[in-house]
């Protein structure tokens, strides 16, 4: 697929995938969860699971990154019917915006109403600690500044309007529900809120880039999430975004620290139980 063909799919193609999935399971999900790097264990909490590898799903992309299992998992979480993506798609894998966001429109056609999107991110805010969970209150779409927006090209009104609003991208009621749940589940001490900035990757940021992002008001930085959120909001889905802070970005030229993918996976495993508990109880209250 050409990287320049930004809107490669038609409504009927998304519908073909959705219709096929509906024949594979009796689950009719209202909540979709995109599991970020090292966070795929969320799907293990589902009851009455049906696991479908991406390679078996018509038109579905394949995940190529360590820490991403590469399958859809349908099931029930605390009594709520859900679908989880164990593994997402990224620009740095060579996918364009239409492919990165393909599952979101499929979820919409399945009847999903809420998207919970998770990621592993680097902490830019000085008082963030490794292991903190940041609720995303807003985002900065750096690829979008360069024209890499998943809504570029012809608009299909069956999905949404030509010029969707993004000032309310992250649902305030879901954020409040998450804060309440964090208090109840003893997660409040490491729950934060902030602005997520997306860069295309796959390189981690230079020191100069980190300083620029801090000046722009970014609190955490990663390589995903924003395209899916844009498409979800275009479809009218409510969005809750959660970033697990897996490393502190390096902002000092004398520092001996180096960001690496293994550290991201390790912190993901360490905070997994807390993260899963928080998300599952939020879903239960929806």
Spatial distance between the Cα atoms of 157 and 159, rounded to a whole number of angstroms: 5
Q: Does the residue 265 lie in any domain?
A: yes
Q: Does the residue 3 lie in any domain?
A: no
In the chain, which residue ranges form alpha helices assigned H by DSSP?
A: 11-22, 97-100, 102-110, 142-145, 172-184, 207-215, 226-234, 261-270, 272-285
Number of domains observed in the structure of the chain: 1
Q: Does the residue 49 lie in any domain?
A: yes
Q: Report the predicted TM-score, pTM, of the whole model to 2 decimal places.
A: 0.91
Q: Does the residue 58 lie in any domain?
A: yes
- What's the CA angle centered on 101, arms 95 and 104, to 5 degrees? 155
- What's the CA angle centered on 125, arms 122 and 127, to 5 degrees? 110
Q: Does the residue 234 lie in any domain?
A: yes
Q: Does the residue 140 lie in any domain?
A: yes
Q: Which tens digits make up the pLDDT trace of 140-199?
A: 999 999 889 999 999 999 999 999 999 999 999 999 999 999 999 999 999 999 999 999
User: Which of these, 243, 237, 207, lies nearest to 223 by C-alpha position?
Assistant: 243
Q: Does the residue 4 lie in any domain?
A: no
Q: Does the residue 50 lie in any domain?
A: yes
- What is the percent of the chain with per-residue pLDDT over 90, rounded to a whole number? 68
Q: Which tens digits make up the pLDDT trace of 255-264?
A: 666 666 566 5
pLDDT the model gives residue 2: 37
Spatial distance between the Cα atoms of 122 and 223, rounded to a whole number of angstroms: 10
Residue 243 sits in a domain whose CATH number is 3.40.50.1580
Q: Tell me which residue range forms the domain holding 215.
A: 11-285
pLDDT the model gives residue 265: 62
The predicted model gives 247-258 an average pLDDT of 73
Q: Which tens digits make up the pLDDT trace of 16-31?
A: 999 999 999 999 999 9
């Amino acid at each position: 697929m050409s990287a320049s063909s930004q809107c490669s799919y038609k409504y009927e193609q998304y519908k073909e995938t959705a219709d096929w999935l509906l024949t594979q399971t009796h689950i009719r999900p209202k909540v979709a969860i995109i599991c970020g790097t090292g966070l795929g264990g969320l799907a293990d909490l589902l009851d009455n699971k049906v696991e479908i590898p991406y390679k078996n799903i018509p038109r579905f992309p394949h995940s190529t990154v360590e820490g991403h299992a590469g399958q859809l998992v349908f099931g029930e979480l605390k009594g709520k019917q859900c679908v989880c993506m164990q593994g997402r798609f990224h620009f740095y894998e060579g996918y364009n915006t239409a492919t990165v966001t393909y599952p979101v429109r499929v979820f919409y056609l399945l009847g999903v109403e809420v998207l919970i999107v998770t990621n592993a991110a680097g902490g830019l805010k000085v008082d963030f600690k490794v292991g903190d969970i940041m609720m995303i209150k807003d985002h900065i779409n750096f690829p979008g500044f360069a024209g890499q927006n998943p809504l570029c090209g012809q608009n299909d009104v069956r999905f949404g309007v030509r010029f969707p609003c993004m000032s309310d991208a992250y649902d305030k009621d879901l954020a409040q529900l998450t804060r309440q749940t964090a208090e109840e589940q003893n997660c409040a001490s490491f729950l934060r809120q902030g602005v997520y900035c997306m860069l295309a990757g796959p390189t981690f940021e230079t020191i100069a880039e980190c300083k620029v992002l801090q000046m722009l008001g970014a609190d955490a930085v990663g390589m995903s999430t924003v395209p899916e959120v844009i498409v979800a909001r275009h479809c009218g889905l409510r969005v809750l975004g959660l970033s697990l802070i897996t490393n502190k970005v390096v902002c000092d030229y004398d520092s001996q620290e180096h960001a690496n993918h293994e550290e991201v996976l390790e912190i993901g495993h360490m905070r997994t139980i807390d993260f899963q508990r928080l998300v599952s109880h939020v879903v239960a209250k929806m």
